[in-house]
Structure formats: C-alpha cells, structure tokens
Amino acid sequence: MRRIEKYTSLEKAVKKLISSIRIKSKVEVIQVSKAYGRVLAEDIVSEKTIPPHNMAHFDGFAVNSQDTAVAKPSKPVTLKIRGVIKAGEYVEACLNRGETYRIFTGGYLPKGADAVVPQEAVEVRGEKIKIFSRFNPGENVDFKGRDVKEGMTLLKKGHKISAQDIGLLLRISKHKIKVYVKPRIGILSVGSELTDDPDQAKDYGKILNTHRFVIEKLVEAAGGIPEYLGLVPDDLREIEFRLRESLNIYDMVLTIGGASVGDSDLVGKALQRQNPEEMVQGLRVQPGRVGGFAVIGGKPVIMLPGHILSTISAYTFLAYPIIRMLQGLSPKPYSVVTEAKTSSPIRHGRFLGFKRMVWVKVVEIDGEPMIDARIDSSSLYSVAVNSDAYILIPEGVKEIQAGEKVKVYFILGVSHL
Amino acid sequence: MRRIEKYTSLEKAVKKLISSIRIKSKVEVIQVSKAYGRVLAEDIVSEKTIPPHNMAHFDGFAVNSQDTAVAKPSKPVTLKIRGVIKAGEYVEACLNRGETYRIFTGGYLPKGADAVVPQEAVEVRGEKIKIFSRFNPGENVDFKGRDVKEGMTLLKKGHKISAQDIGLLLRISKHKIKVYVKPRIGILSVGSELTDDPDQAKDYGKILNTHRFVIEKLVEAAGGIPEYLGLVPDDLREIEFRLRESLNIYDMVLTIGGASVGDSDLVGKALQRQNPEEMVQGLRVQPGRVGGFAVIGGKPVIMLPGHILSTISAYTFLAYPIIRMLQGLSPKPYSVVTEAKTSSPIRHGRFLGFKRMVWVKVVEIDGEPMIDARIDSSSLYSVAVNSDAYILIPEGVKEIQAGEKVKVYFILGVSHL
C-alpha cells in the first residue's frame, strides 16, 4: 500500500512554497477611518508639520523665559496679560518683554514667547500675573514639528494599521490610503463521510463538518476573506474539478481532509494530475505530517489533514504565513511570541525526527507565566480548546524538563487574546 | 487657580471603580457559528461522548491485538478480512479471532477489536492480510470518550470563544450558546476648538477631532460597541445635559478632553454636579494623570484627557478593564504580557512618585526580543504610532538600565498583532 516516502522539513517546505507563488497582491484605496487592521501598500510621507507652530502643552501663560529668570517665591515677577490664545489659535502679534498671553492647551505661542507657565504656578490679579520661579526656554512647549515634520516618512509599506495610526493619518490630512486587498481564500472540505447538516450527522456513517468553521475563523482572524465552498466526496475526478474551478476564482485554496496517501485520500493525487510547479506532501512536523501543498498556475493549494490538531498545525505553518504574505506582511507562523517556563516535564516518544507542535495553556503563577502542556492524539478537539498557544520541540529532542524556559507562540484566532 | 489636589494610585482607582459599578452584564443566546470572540455566559456541559465508540486513528485494519502477539517479520500472522468499516460507521458485528475488518480513519472498531494496524504495515492478498509485528491493545485507537465525556464541563462561564471552540461546540451538537451582550460604549468629545469637518480644521482655532477614531477602534478591539456621540463645547450646562442623556442609553460613557481642572476643563465639574456615587479625578500615572472617572446611577463615566498618550493611558487603565468586565472577562489592562530586554537605558525625571507608562517598540535581535522606548511629550501621536506595546516604570524609579528584563504589555487595538 502507498505511504508517504519522504517528509520535508518545515523550513524547506515553506521556502519552496513562498518562492513558487506567482500571484501579486492587489492594492485598493480605502478611507483611513475604515483601515483598522489593514496593511499599507504605500509609504506614508507627511505633507504637514505637527504642531505647525510652537504649541502650549498646558493651560497657562505664554512668556518670554528671560522675563522669569529672576523670579523667586519671595520676589515674584509681574507680567501684563495682553490677550487670550485658545486651543488651535494663532496670533500674529509679537510678545513684548514684560507681557504675557493667557494661553490654553493646544494654542500656538506668539512670537517672542518661548515657554508656558502652567496656570497653577501663577497668581492672577486683574490684568496682571505674578510668577514665582524661573522657567526655562521650551518648558511646557510642544515645539513646531516635534510630532511630525513635513517630508517625514511616518509609516512604511507593509505596516499593519492600528488604532493610533488612524488618528495620526487623519491628523496629517491623509483621509485615503493604499492598502493591500484582503486575499480571498477558498475552503474545500473533502470526505464522503462528511455532512453539513446537523440532522444527518446523527446517523452513523455521517460526520458533521466542524473543521471548516475553525478554518474559516482562523482565516478571518489572519486578515483573509474565507469562502467555504462546500463538501467534496472522495472521488478523484470530482476533487480535480472542484480544485480547478476554485483556483480560477480564489487567491489560495485550502483543502481539509483526504491529505494522506490512503485509498480514499485523493487530494494529493488530484493535485499531482494538474502538473503543479511545486508540490510537497508530507512534513517533518507532528501533528501535521500528512499536510502539504501544491502551487498550480502560481497559486497555492494547502492540504490540511483531517485530524483537527493536524488541520490547525498545517494551517499554522503553511496557510497562515501565506495569508499574511498575500497582504504584504512577513510570512511568520505566529502573531506574538513570549517566553514561559514549563510546569512539568514534556515528553514525547514518537516521530522524534520531526518537529513537535505542542499545545499549551499559559497560566500565571506568582506573576510568572508558566505553561501546562498536553500531548495527546491529534484527533482531539479538547486539546486545542484547553490551550492558548503552542510551543515547538526541536527535531530529535525527547523531553523538555520541568522549569525550562521555552518560546510560546500565540496565533490570532486560536489564542484567547 | 484650581489644581488637582490629590492623585489616586491606579490600583486604588480601579478598585473603587470596579466596586461601585452596579450595572449587570446582559445575556443573549446566539448561534455558535457566529460566536467567535464572544464570552460565554454559561458553563458548557457536554451531553455527548466523543468519540462515541472506540475509533480508528488511521486507515488500516481493526484487529484483536492478541492475534498479533506472535507476529514477526520472518513469521507474519495472517488474518481474514471480514468486511469494511468506513469513517463514522459502526458495525454491530463482533470480530472473531483470526479475523479483521478493513477500517478507515474515523470508523468505529467492532466488538472484539482493540487495535488498528496501519495499512502501510500490512500486506494484502485477496481476502487476507499479513501482519509482521506485534500491536499493543489500544494502538492507533482513539478510545470512546477520549476527547469528551458526557457530563464533562468543557468550557466555563467567562471563557472567550476561539476558532477551535466553535468546532468542538458544534461537534457536541451545541448550536446555540448563551453569551454576554457586547457593552455599548458612548463616546463624547469635549472641546470648543474641536471639529469633525476636515475642511474647517484647515482654519486656525479649529482642530480635527482625530482621537475619537482611536478610541472607537480600541473599544471595538476590546469587544465593545462604540458609538460616537459627537462634539460638546466647553459649556458646563451642555456637558451636563449630554452626559445625562448618554448615561440613559449606554452602559458606559467615555469623555475625551476637558478632563483637567483648568477654566475650560468642565467635565469633572459636570460629573460632580450629578452626585456620583464614586469619583476620582487625578491618577498617579503619567501620562494620564488628569484622567479619572465617576460612577453615576451605577454606570461608569471615564474621563480621558486630551493629549493623545494620556487619552490612551486612561483608556488602558480605566476603560479597557471595564469593557472586559462588562463582557464577563477579567478586568486587566492588557491582552498579552511578555518579557523583553531594554536596548538602552530608560530615564525619566518628572512625576517620580507616579507610575510611568512608557511606549515601546519590540524588535527581535538575534532571536531575542528587545525593546526600544521613547519618552516624550504626551501630545505626540508619533510616539504611539512607532510603538507596539507599553511597559510600566514603578513609582519612585528614575531609571531602568540597558539590558534589564521588563514586562511588556500588549493591548488589542494598539498593538500590531
């Protein structure tokens, strides 16, 4: 009977996958206010200087700092209030020695003023104020261009837009930006035993297709647009037809199930028959070792195995990085990486020559992050459900001892952030 | 002139805030397939056992392991194929000694079978197979209830639903669940100088209200439903009226600007006049020290200061934990915490008695996470835009040395996850 003859290391598989993809990320122009989470397809160079003039950081009084040089609690300096400058206001006037302007936070300093004395530090008497200490040039002033200078590159191509970025973009009057179009990801579930109808799933011989919901949510969390394309039976011609059809429409296709080389595992065969430019079936990672990919007409098809932990593993290492890449992000297999100590030894005995993906729960003990790991059958949903993140045991390593520090990888969608 | 007389420590402020909130989180029943990111308002106890019978983990042959006990490469054991069991199928028959069933992954083992011999390990000759080594009881079998046992609590109240959770819930035929209603958060921007019209913002004296977009996105990322309620001028009656009106409708109100105690900072005064059950104005954290809150009729109003880094600081420490709490999550001021080394010393000279929130960028150097910190004026958007996360310098500490390990806090919306 057939078996996978050769397993490819993850590093090599990902390298082959990335280098053989030939589709270009598309670009669209969108409103900045709707750009949260999108990825810039252009450098943002400011056409504005912010603040446009020296600006008061606090409510107070704009002064020439030299006027305050001799001020002491016992011998305050008196200045005459010449007028009021509100937030955002600019006064053409020039401050003379001995004068001050009442100024509010965000108001621009008049010429001749180089410091702001906070209101709490003065005594106001009618049209005059008393200052009781020395203020340095620049004190409580946000200088012209301190935030942004005209011509400055604020954000680079490939940058993912966060909440604060939207604020700054609008502040520099950038209301529309170029971002990468979200990649459209087709999802095909393969297996004659599967059903999408919960009622049918009550009968023996039919299994509810739950994996597709998991993969859809993961694709969405990664910034892709998932499209579930329905079930395909274990029939070579049917699988071939549906793959070809899907590749015409979507940027990438994910198949779930039928990834191995058993009699009813036909996805690999169907891909082979379409003369892929590159193909890998079998990965040196467990769970996930029957996963793989093919690149056809420059587009990637990722084969996700049917056991849920293998499904998510192949998704994590092959699909997630590519969904990132198609949006202009770096193709890494995680969102955040942290470090934590193991609370007990982590042992595994099988597939020692393989990289091992271990699901873990992060718990804080005395303010220190610790991980609880569970190695169990790859068909168990409960392992993933009781986890936040994953760790990797390198090839050839049998055991990680209790108390060892390891890298913990969080991934959007899987991790309870 | 007025000044903040007393600053409250963050810990104390948050404790007061939490203990005085009197609104109850509402609960709704929703489709599991749409529950991603929502928070459970009930414990989930399984009414199913999964797998419902002992299940084949691989494609292969169901055997009685005793039949294989004497199998050797030189002296294989021969078994007769009695039938085929497909994925999800259950056969009432009982396996006799010397017999086997062809079984596919996900098929249920017949009585009398206790192991699965993978197809790669056998030689098939017509109706018979040869097995060349011993297989142990349970080998390649996912035992009944290994994933989920009937009556088991799978997920607890307060658990945030991830992608894999949806899969498991559907698998145990849970199609609808009780979750907390997303809290509705009203946002009022206060300041006569503000405008929502980019064209007006070109004139001196008018400033484009960009902060509200930042706060809206942060609320959304935290799982709340933000509702921008427009601008309010620096007018005490007007502010009072708008606050009262908003508190009638929303679960929580965030005000942006006017939080200090200057002549035109009237939010605190307006809140005071509504006889709050609890109120704090002034926090021992910088930026953010003019932030605060009031609880009126059991509902929280958070005062976010107008300088953007102060706005986000007060949001992080006061609003974000409460948005989490109103959904049934723990009220912590971050999403993920990691550790990293400082790449250069971090010094600050002002507000030494205060906790200091420092914006940092996390960069990987030789595989080690390092942080670049920037301490600058709280009015600068660029500080936040060039950052991923924040660290906290404790009260009284002036400097963190280069190479020191510190906790790094990521927060949804702000951090580029």
- pLDDT 10s digits, B198-219: 999 988 889 999 999 999 999 9
Interface of B with A in 266-305 (CB under 8 A): none
Interface of A with B in 326-365 (CB under 8 A): 335-339
Give yes or no: residues A209 and A292 share one domain: yes
Q: Which of B275, B295, B326 is the last residue of a domain?
A: B326
Contacts of A281 (CB under 8 A, 6+ apart): A4, A259, A261, A268, A290, A292, A303
Q: For residue A106, give the nearest of B119, B207, B312 by CB distance.
A: B207
Q: Which two tokens stand for residue A86?
A: 């509100």
Tell me if A243 is assigned to some domain: yes
pLDDT at B2 (0 to 100): 61
Are A175 and B168 a contacting pair at CB < 8 A?
no
3 state DSSP class of A246: helix
> CA B308, CA A358: separation in Å to the nearest integer?
41
Q: Does pLDDT of A1 surpass 60?
A: no
Q: Find the CATH number of the domain harbouring A343.
A: 2.40.340.10
Contacts of A392 (CB under 8 A, 6+ apart): A355, A356, A357, A358, A407, A409
Q: Does pLDDT of B1 surpass 60?
A: no
Give alpha helix (H) positions in B10-102: 10-20
Give yes or no: residues B200 and B314 share one domain: yes
Give yes or no: residues A295 and A370 share one domain: no
Number of domains present in the structure of chain B: 4
Name residue A145's beta-bridge partners. none
* pLDDT digit string, tens, across residues B49-89: 999 999 999 999 999 999 999 999 999 999 999 999 999 99
> CA B247, CA B145: separation in Å to the nearest integer?
50
Look up the ipTM and state it: 0.94
On whether the CB atoms of residues A191 and A208 are closer than 8 A, the answer is no
* pLDDT digit string, tens, across residues A16-55: 999 999 998 899 999 999 999 999 999 999 999 999 999 9
A192 confidence band (pLDDT: 50, 70, 90) = very high
CA-based nearest residue to B413, from B392, B389, B377:
B389
Q: Which residue of B has its CA nearest to A198?
A: B173
Are A166 and B213 a contacting pair at CB < 8 A?
yes
* pLDDT digit string, tens, across residues A60-82: 999 999 999 999 999 999 999 99
Give yes or no: residues B289 and B200 share one domain: yes
Are A105 and B385 a contacting pair at CB < 8 A?
no
Tell me if B136 is assigned to some domain: yes
> CA B417, CA B406: separation in Å to the nearest integer?
19
* pLDDT digit string, tens, across residues A370-386: 999 999 999 999 999 99
Chain B closest-CA separation from residue A266 CA (Å): 13
Q: Which domain holds residue A406?
A: 336-410
A349 confidence band (pLDDT: 50, 70, 90) = confident
Contacts of B378 in chain A (CB under 8 A): 57
Question: Tell me, what amino acid is at A330?
Answer: S
Tell me if B152 is assigned to some domain: no
Give yes or no: residues B102 and B201 share one domain: no
> CA B327, CA B224: separation in Å to the nearest integer?
8
Burial of B374 (C-beta count, 10 Å sphere; 0-12/13-18/19+): middle
Are A142 and B380 a contacting pair at CB < 8 A?
yes
Interface of A with B in 126-155 (CB under 8 A): 142, 146-148, 154-155
3-state per-residue secondary structure call for A10-71: HHHHHHHHHHHCCCCCCEEEEEHHHCCCCEECCCEECCCCECCCCEECCCEEEECHHHHCCC
* pLDDT digit string, tens, across residues A326-347: 999 999 999 988 889 999 999 9
pLDDT at A333 (0 to 100): 96
Q: Which two tokens stand for residue A296?
A: 């056809």
Give the best residue of A320, A385, A392 to mutate against chain B (max B CB count within 10 A): A385
Chain A closest-CA separation from residue B297 CA (Å): 31
Tell me if B5 is assigned to some domain: no
pLDDT at A203 (0 to 100): 87
Tell me if A304 is assigned to some domain: yes
Q: Does pLDDT of A196 surpass 80?
A: yes
Mean pLDDT of B336-353: 90
> CA B259, CA B188: separation in Å to the nearest integer?
12
CA-based nearest residue to B407, from B331, B343, B340:
B340
The secondary structure of residue A211, as a DSSP letter, is H
Contacts of B207 in chain A (CB under 8 A): 87-88, 106
Mean pLDDT of A190-218: 95
Mean pLDDT of B152-176: 97
Are B381 and A148 a contacting pair at CB < 8 A?
yes
Q: Find the CATH number of the domain harbouring B81.
A: 2.170.190.11
Phi, psi of B328 (to 5 degrees): 90, 10
pLDDT at B194 (0 to 100): 96
Tell me if A417 is assigned to some domain: no
On whether the CB atoms of residues B333 and B391 are closer than 8 A, the answer is no
Question: Tell me, what amino acid is at B410?
Answer: F
3-state per-residue secondary structure call for A101-161: EEECCCCECCECCCEEEEHHHEEEECCEEEECCCCCCCCCEECCCCCECCCCEEECCCCEC
Give yes or no: residues A310 and A241 share one domain: yes
Q: Which residue of A has its CA nearest to B195?
A: A88
Mean pLDDT of B299-313: 97
Give yes or no: residues B315 and B400 share one domain: no
Tell me if A4 is assigned to some domain: no
Give yes or no: residues B247 and B369 share one domain: no
Tell me if B153 is assigned to some domain: no
Give yes or no: residues B34 and B22 share one domain: no
Give yes or no: residues B164 and B187 share one domain: no
> CA A280, CA A271: separation in Å to the nearest integer?
10
Contacts of B385 in chain A (CB under 8 A): 154-155, 162, 164-165, 168
Query: With an 8 Å Cβ cutoff, is B208 touching chain A?
Result: yes
Number of A:B CB contacts under 8 A? 255
Give yes or no: residues A121 and A243 share one domain: no
Give yes or no: residues A312 and A262 share one domain: yes
Mean pLDDT of A229-249: 97
Q: Does pLDDT of B294 surpass 90?
A: yes
Q: Does pLDDT of A263 surpass 80?
A: no
